Amino acid sequence: MSNLYTKNGHPLRLQGDRLYSRSGIYLGKVYDDRVYDPRGHYAGTIVGDRVVYRSTHSARIKGPSNSANRAGVASAKSAQSSIWGDEPRFQD
């Protein structure tokens, strides 16, 4: 289990190849360093401990995935990053 953050510092939890929000909602599956939402659309790229949305990667699509939601995590928000890319568009 790994702790990740969005570009703006919102905590995320990575369990295996599944990504969850702070409240435990399933956000998507990770392939290499890319996150794809449950519908299979590109949602973000993992850079270090951050997930950022990069429009240059947005044309990629994978098959749909699903997973049960998990218990929430008590992680504090982190500082915003100046890394290249935008805040991912996760639903939470």
Please check whether residue 89 is in contact with residue 43, taking contact to mean a CB–CB distance below 8 angstroms: yes
Residue-wise pLDDT tens digits, 36-81: 999 999 999 999 999 999 888 777 667 667 666 665 555 656 666 6
Dihedral, CA of residue 64, residue 67, residue 69 and residue 73, to nearest 10: -90
Residue-wise pLDDT tens digits, 3-42: 899 988 889 999 999 999 888 899 999 999 999 999 999 9
DSSP string, 2-69: EEEEETT--EEEEETTEEEETT--EEEEEETTEEE-TTSBEEEEEETTEEEB-GGGTT-B--------
d(CA 39, CA 19): 14
Question: The pTM is what?
Answer: 0.73
